[in-house]
Structure 1
Amino acid sequence: MVTFLASGILLFQLLISGQEAPSQSSSQSPAPVEAEADQPESAVTPPITLIGKEAPELILSDISGKSFDLSSLSDQIVVMEWTLPECRFNRRIYAQHKMIPMMRRWGKQGVKWVSVNSAFFAHPVKVQPWIDKYKIKNPYLFDPSGHCAEAFGVKNSPTYLVLDRGKIVYHGALDDDVWGSKADRKHYLDQAIGQVVEGVPVTHPLTRTYGMEIRTRRTEDLRRAALEKMRKEALEREANPGTPPAEEESSEEEGRQ
């Protein structure tokens, strides 16, 4: 009975996984990093391997259903924003007027902005109120398979990339203000854009992101597979209460050897 209850708790934890939570400890601020370790099952490209390289191909549909090809902006400075309207970190950034004014300010200097939503459940009907609320004019693209997020090394919303004539020169967070309460924060993205516009190297090309994990089609399939496996194991233990879990059996075997 105890084993079955524990399995139920684990199932519940898996069910709520992927909800809004910072991707790092709240006691730490995002800072320049040299590398980010991937989980063994992850298909996400390590961001460090992308810096200074040509951006992967990206052809997606925008909110109106029209096809958008990132290569059409290969001769310009582009900011790519991975965003989820459902993410409270993303909502907070927009509500605090940290994003739209930046878009407009740099837009006057020719910087292009592209928003990408890689959540498996994203749909134009759900996103349209967000577009209308903030009067977003830049392309808003949908990546339901999550393949583009993986290719661009993106796991969390929000995540920002800066492209200089087709090459990735910045990958990371908006700033180091996880909870939006710092009086003196480091403006990583704004600084990176400014340095690219000035034609000088980006000081911090890679910073640690914070926000909500993007539930791509692949991560959702993995989550559901894990849930199904645990459900079957729990049912088997309930039907055969005297049979110890596989892990316990293997541990006992090792102890006898």
Structure 2
Amino acid sequence: MKKTTRNLSLMLALTVAGCLGVFAASAEIGKAAPDFTLTDIQGKSISLSDYRGKTVVLEWVNPECPFVVKHYESGNIPSLQKNAAAEDVVWITINSARPGAQGDYDASQVAAWSQKNGAAPASYCRDSDGKVGRLYGAKTTPHMYVISADGTLAYDGAIDSIRSAKQADIAKATNYVTAALDALTAGKPVEKSTSEPYGCGVKY
């Protein structure tokens, strides 16, 4: 009986370890950012490798999350997106919500939301099975990643330094994404390459 129990415990442990391995993030600062392919809301297939030679920003989003609302209704993220485009930085917005979850918008809903808020990413992609989100270990909305032109992950974490859903705090905060982009543009190391992301949990 004891042997059977031990065997069952071992099988369970191996199964759990295997599942954790499947969902373990493979994005690591200073290493090559994991490649992925998604279809944007325009029906175009895009891959991270398509943009090798350009700096890329990945933004995890949930349009109904109060923390995301803060950064869009204030114009903060739309402004960052437009500034990035002006500097030839590719901004990819990703929604990893499971089908039917909060913020799982279809193409028409995304278009209306984007127009209302002035959103201007290069691409907005749905990651409904959560594969890309789990690949990167995206925890919250927003959760930000900056990838250098050589394909290396240069920043992973929060958009800024103040964990708040209040728009008034944006001006007081240090924007980590802007700091990372400025450093890469200047050919310097990103001083703060990681931070703890804040916001709503990704609705996997």
Conservation of the 8 A alpha-carbon contact between 1:44 and 1:154? no
Tell me if 1:45 matches 2:29: no
* 2:45 matched residue in structure 1: 67
* 1: CA distance, partners of 2:78 / 2:137: 24
* 1:120 matched residue in structure 2: 98
* 2:146 matched residue in structure 1: 162
Deviation at 1:46, TM superposition (A): 6.8
Tell me the matched-pair count.
Answer: 175
Cα 1:69/1:201, change in 2 over 3 Å: same
- Which one of the candidate residues 138, 143, 149 is aligned to 2:133? 149
Deviation at 1:171, TM superposition (A): 0.5
SS in structure 1 opposite 2:59? strand
Deviation at 1:82, TM superposition (A): 0.7
SS in structure 1 opposite 2:153? strand
What is the 5 A alignment of 1:1-257? 43-45=23-25, 50-121=28-99, 122=104, 123-137=106-120, 138-165=122-149, 166-179=151-164, 180=166, 181-182=168-169, 184-216=172-204
The 10-residue stretch of structure 1 (122-131 or 87-96) with the greater mean CA deviation from structure 2: 122-131
Listed one character per residue, the Cα deviations across residues 157-184 of structure 1 (whole Å, up to 9, x for unaligned) are 1011001021110001111222234353
Conservation of the 8 A alpha-carbon contact between 1:118 and 1:149? yes
- Percentage of matched positions with identical amino acids: 29
Match of 1:94, as an amino acid? Answer: Y
Conservation of the 8 A alpha-carbon contact between 2:98 and 2:203? yes
* 2: CA distance, partners of 1:151 / 1:98: 27
* 2: CA distance, partners of 1:207 / 1:68: 27
SS in structure 2 opposite 1:99? helix
* 2: CA distance, partners of 1:83 / 1:77: 19
Conservation of the 8 A alpha-carbon contact between 1:77 and 1:164? yes
Conservation of the 8 A alpha-carbon contact between 1:196 and 1:202? yes
* 2: CA distance, partners of 1:135 / 1:71: 27
* 2: CA distance, partners of 1:44 / 1:150: 7
* 2: CA distance, partners of 1:210 / 1:46: 20
Conservation of the 8 A alpha-carbon contact between 1:83 and 1:116? yes
Give the TM-score normalised by the residue count of structure 1: 0.64
List alignment gaps of at least 5 residues for structure 1: 1-39, 217-257
* 1: CA distance, partners of 2:195 / 2:83: 23
Question: Of the two, which has the highest radius of gyration?
Answer: 1
Conservation of the 8 A alpha-carbon contact between 2:84 and 2:91? no
Deviation at 1:54, TM superposition (A): 1.0
* 2: CA distance, partners of 1:115 / 1:204: 22
Listed one character per residue, the Cα deviations across residues 52-93 of structure 1 (whole Å, up to 9, x for unaligned) are 111112111110222111111011011111111111100111
Match of 1:164, as an amino acid? Answer: S
